[in-house]
Every structure is written in structure tokens, then in C-alpha cells.
Amino acid sequence: MRRLMERLRSGEVLLVDGALGTMLIARGLAPGRCPESINLERPQWLVEIARAYREAGADVLTANTFGGSPLSLERYGLAEDTEAIQRAAIRATREAAGDEAFIAVSCGPSGRLMKPYGDTEPDEVSDSFRRQLRAIAAAGVDLIAIETMTDLDEAVLAVQAAREVASGVPISATLTFEDTPRGFFTIMGHDIEQAAARLAEAGADIIGSNCGQGIETMLRITAGFQEHSSLPLIVQPNAGLPQTRASEVIYPESPEFMAQRLPALLDAGASIIGGCCGTTPAHTAAFRRVLDDHIR
């Protein structure tokens, strides 16, 4: 299998899988439980979910390591299992991927606010990312996906940590933006232009956005990145904003609704496309059909 960056550079569009968290909840992950505890307790769930995404046509399968940094695992008393949690996630994803899909590992926020806004030292956050990413690099993966970052400073620390301990592994970095009357900003107040510049400078190979408010806003965010960057763009929208109905959380954007807007996302410059919260293998299958038509 040709390497991931090589395939992107040749102009191919790659399809990443969809949500993991909401799929785990649908399978019975109890509210308040650590999603990464599944890696050790029920790895078979991960194999089944990844297999469903692969069968739906995903080129890239994501390991369940979003909250796998020791700072994030600490909230559940699982920091000492950091290495075992990464290894188990990658093993399960590899079992589903075989030789047919790339393996990405997810690296989400630490869950801490750094000084001066919070009480956590940036060094503590860097150390935490380094420990997670060192374990990931040792297991061998095709992509480190730093994602759902709302603090650009933290995203930069994660990219730098990946560069340091996992050299040679491609790095993608995506932020979540709020749609404001003044344009798109992260919660911490950074805009797309600042994000594009600083993530590239830190050494990201692929940049973009994930999560957020659905595919319509993601079209405009993608166009913003296209304007300010020449790096390949990765875009993973939520299936809309979650709504609560009779204590059930519903994501409103159907596979068909999102798939219809995929050509516009490609025109806006996206070259890796996937889904975030609320997307399912049905979304991935609908995206696959559009991509196959688009390529033809």
C-alpha cells in the first residue's frame, strides 16, 4: 500500500471513518465512563466498529485514543495505563484494517486549561502528549490525528510533541471553531489564519477542522483554510449540532444530506474527508459513493 502522504500528494482524496465516541455510546458505553477504558475491557467493540467503517469504504481507520493522554486519563484514575491503552486501541484497529486501510491515532485535548487562563503549566501538557505519542509511535501507525482542539497553543504543543517523539509519522492537526458574527474563532479566540500559520510552523503535514456545527459551516471553514494554507486539508464535520429529544441525543444531518454537500467540500479544497460526532458507517458509505463518482 502506498504511503498516506504520497497518495495525498498524487491528488487522491482519502476518506476517514466517522465517529467513535457516539458509536461506543450506542453500544452501551455508560455515561461518565472513560471511553478509552473500552480499549482494555472490550477491544472487540473497537474491532467491530472499525470493521464496519472499513466495509463502508473508509481508507483511514481511527484508533480509540482521543482521551488517551495521561492528563486526560488521570480524571478516571487510568493514567498509569496510558501505554497499554494506546497499544490495545491500535491492535484492535489494525485487526480491522488488515492491509486495506491506514491507521490513524486520535490525540485530543488534555482537558486542562493552561496558564494564564488555567492552572496547568504548558510543560505538563507537553509531557503528557509526549508520553501518549511515544507509545503510539512505538506501535507503528500511518497518521497522528491531533483533533478537536479549541486552544491553538495546546494544538501547537501537541504537534511539536509528535514531531519530537514520532518523527516520520505524518501529523494532522484540526481545530474546532465557533461561527461568530465576526467570523470563525476557537473558544480561545484564534482565527483560521492564525491556526493555519502556527500549525504549519509547528510541523503539521495536514491541517483543518473537525467537530463543530455540521457540514454547511464546515464548507466556509474549509474555504478559509484554503485561502491561508497550501497544506492538504482534512475536514471532519459533525452530523450537525446534537439535539436532545426525550433524553436521547440526536444528530440531525443524515448521510444523504451530508453526502450531497461533499462535492462542494472537495471544491473548497478538502483532500481528506471524514465525519465527527454523530456520523456512522452509513455516512461513510454515502461519502464513499460520492467520492467514487467524483473521481470517475
Contact positions toward Zn ion, by CB under 5 A?
A: 211, 238, 276-277
Of the two residues 107 and 277, which places its CB atom closer to Zn ion in the complex?
277
Treating both helix axes as pointing N-terminal to C-terminal, what angle do 122-139 and 82-97 enclose, rounded to 10 degrees?
Answer: 40
Least Cβ distance, residue 67 to Zn ion (angstroms):
13
Least Cβ distance, residue 270 to Zn ion (angstroms):
16
Burial pattern 140-153, b for ≥16 Cβ within 10 A else e, equals ebbbbbbbbbbbbe
Q: Which residue from 231, 226, 257 is spatially nearest to 173, judged by alpha carbons?
A: 231
CA-CA distance, 262 to 283, in Å (whole number)? Answer: 11
Of the two residues 87 and 185, which places its CB atom closer to Zn ion in the complex?
185
Least Cβ distance, residue 101 to Zn ion (angstroms):
21
Of the two residues 57 and 278, which places its CB atom closer to Zn ion in the complex?
278
Least Cβ distance, residue 274 to Zn ion (angstroms):
11
Burial pattern 14-41, b for ≥16 Cβ within 10 A else e, equals bbbbbbbbbbbeeeebeeeebbbbbbee
Least Cβ distance, residue 254 to Zn ion (angstroms):
17
Treating both helix axes as pointing N-terminal to C-terminal, what angle do 82-97 and 43-55 enclose, rounded to 10 degrees?
Answer: 40
Of the two residues 24 and 135, which places its CB atom closer to Zn ion in the complex?
24
Query: Which stretches does DSSP call E strand in the chain?
Result: 14-15, 60-63, 102-107, 143-149, 171-175, 178-180, 183-185, 206-211, 233-237, 243-245, 248-250, 270-273
Least Cβ distance, residue 91 to Zn ion (angstroms):
24
Of the two residues 106 and 160, which places its CB atom closer to Zn ion in the complex?
106
Handedness of CA 46, 235, 75, 246 (dihedral sign): negative
Of the two residues 16 and 277, which places its CB atom closer to Zn ion in the complex?
277
